[in-house]
Amino acid sequence: MKITFWIQAEANGKKLDGFTNIATGKTTWTSSSTALSEAAVDGDVNTCFLIDDVQPSKWWRIDLGNYPSYRIYEVKLINTNRTDKSSLMTYNATVRAGNSLEFGENPVCGDQVSLNDTSQDELVFPCILTFARYISIEQEQEVYPLRFCEVEVYADLEFLCEDIINTTEPGVNFASLASRVINMTDFVNGESQINAECTPKLNGKFYVGKTDVSCVFNDTAGNGATCDFEVTVVDVEPPTPTCDNVARITLPGVNYAYIDSFPIIVTDNVDKNNLISRECTPTLHGTFYAGTTVVRCMFKDRSGNNAICVFVFTVTDVEPPTPTCDNVARITLPGVNYAYIDSFPIIVTDNVDEDNLISRECTPTLHGTFYAETTDVTCIFEDQSGNDATCEFVVTVADVEPPTPTCDNVTTITLPGINCVYIVLFPIVVTDNVDEDNLISRECTPTLHGTFYAGTTDVRCVFKDRSGNNAICVFVVTVTDVHCQVSQQKVHIR
């Protein structure tokens, strides 16, 4: 920043080493409802402001206006024409200058008024070039009056030839500089016709970054100034990310999805999206397992403004379990027509769920009695995501037990006159664990039913159940020749 002033004309107003009293005619207030606050700035040292009643706190204040900004050099209290010079007027008064309506927040100018000071016609309070809109004079001494006939505030302008730092306007990458920033009221002669020429022009857009500005000011009286300064526009707006929830399905055979790009859109008032850093937890790109994952991303533009977005990434298991259901073959338990099966060699796997989390429902129910036959079993397996698979298999229980025949020996005698008997029924009893006796085939040698001659005949029978299990029994038929008879008769033996 560089400023050069030149002043050609003398001021019309009251001047003090280049500073001018700017208080005259400005708006004033006081704590008193009866005192005339404006009497202190009417330019007449014979009209005075006075609060002389007993009050715990008395104050007077002036508003110099918020534009232009004044740089206060000093405040002067004129206290002429006092009738009693020892009245301790303004004793302990404090002068402050600043931009706050709360007196206590503004810097103090000079010292409090001492006892010695109260006898002076003029009291001066240096303000060390404080920029101020308000000047206040307060007094806490309730028994002393607050009196002054004129308050003079000596100031020059805040000539705002300063480097300017501004922030971006919402949604754009520039700031439009208000013209007040570089206006300079013609302080010297009270006119306000300033010709300002700035390069670049100041009523336009200043983009993010630094811009060198050079201005020349001239008033009609030939006073002028040049000012070179920098305008810095800072991006204060965070990026705007749009993070939608994402849903995917598991890849074949595995419990995850692999994602290499997310539909995240991020814009910024200044930076292109490839200049906006992003940091996500968990990291984008990669393996996301079945289930929901909350992803939190932070986006940061080059100026460090950041924005966070959170979204949910859902990977759904769409793959049914894979059961392996082999056929089952068992044999009958001893003496009965069934097998008892309490476990089946079923293996089920899933891309996501452990096998103990996969429900199974079988018809008929697994575990229990399976009879000697073939049974079709259908099982449905369902994983935790509701994907199901069916498998069918056959349970075969084989009858491996032969029939149990009882073949008693047969003893009989010949009938009179013949040397043989005709036997039609043998006392053979056969049982089987599975088959009724009428389903058990029998084959005897010699054939049962027929003529058995006197003597002994060995009979051998083979019994076979439907499963081909066979049993043999052997017995002897003994026919005793008692006497011969003419005719042959049938003998029934039971």
154 touches 73 (CB < 8 A): yes
Least CB distance to Ca ion at residue 408 (A): 22
Handedness of CA 256, 260, 266, 271 (dihedral sign): positive
Residue 69 or 404: the one with the smaller Cβ distance to Ca ion is 404
Compute the distance between CA of residue 486 and CA of residue 151 in angstroms, rounded to an integer.
Answer: 177
Least CB distance to Ca ion at residue 235 (A): 4
Residue 25 or 455: the one with the smaller Cβ distance to Ca ion is 25
Least CB distance to Ca ion at residue 288 (A): 16
Least CB distance to Ca ion at residue 425 (A): 24
The tokens describing 131, both together, are 């920029």
Least CB distance to Ca ion at residue 224 (A): 35
Least CB distance to Ca ion at residue 111 (A): 24
Least CB distance to Ca ion at residue 312 (A): 20
Residue 20 or 351: the one with the smaller Cβ distance to Ca ion is 351
Compute the distance between CA of residue 36 and CA of residue 46 in angstroms, rounded to an integer.
Answer: 13
The tokens describing 71, both together, are 């740089």
Least CB distance to Ca ion at residue 401 (A): 4
Least CB distance to Ca ion at residue 208 (A): 8
Q: What is the 3-state secondary structure (H, E, C) of the chain?
A: CEEEEECCCCCCCCEECCEEECCCCCEEEECCCCCCHHHHHCCCCCCCEEECCCCCCEEEEEECCCCCCEEEEEEEEECCCCCCCCCCCCCCCEEEEECCCCHHHCCEECCCCCCCHHHCCEEEEEEEEEEECEEEEEECCCCCCEEECEEEEEEEECCCCCCEEEECCCCCCEEECCHHHCCCCCCCCCCCCEEEEEECCCCCEEECEEEEEEEEEEECCCCEEEEEEEEEEECCCCCEEEECCEEEECCCCCCEEEECCCCEEEECCCCCHHHCEEEEECCCCEEEECEEEEEEEEEECCCCCEEEEEEEEEEECCCCCEEEECCEEEECCCCCCEEEECCCCEEEECCCCCHHHCEEEEECCCCEEEECCEEEEEEEEECCCCCEEEEEEEEEEECCCCCEEEECCEEEECCEECCEEEECCCCEEEECCCCCHHHCEEEEECCCCEEEECEEEEEEEEEECCCCCEEEEEEEEEEECCCEECCCCEECCC
Residue 226 or 314: the one with the smaller Cβ distance to Ca ion is 314
Least CB distance to Ca ion at residue 385 (A): 6
The tokens describing 91, both together, are 């004793």
Least CB distance to Ca ion at residue 150 (A): 5
Residue 7 or 400: the one with the smaller Cβ distance to Ca ion is 400
Residue 347 or 425: the one with the smaller Cβ distance to Ca ion is 347
Residue 42 or 52: the one with the smaller Cβ distance to Ca ion is 42
Neighbours of 442 (CB within 10 A): 19
Residue 72 or 77: the one with the smaller Cβ distance to Ca ion is 77
Residues that bind Ca ion (CB under 5 A): 39, 42, 44, 47, 149-150, 235, 237, 268-270, 301, 305, 317, 319, 350-352, 383, 387, 399, 401, 432-434, 465, 469
Residue 47 or 293: the one with the smaller Cβ distance to Ca ion is 47
Residue 191 or 355: the one with the smaller Cβ distance to Ca ion is 355
Residue 7 or 333: the one with the smaller Cβ distance to Ca ion is 333
Least CB distance to Ca ion at residue 429 (A): 15
Distance, CA of 247 to chain centre: 15
358 touches 382 (CB < 8 A): yes
Residue 170 or 494: the one with the smaller Cβ distance to Ca ion is 170
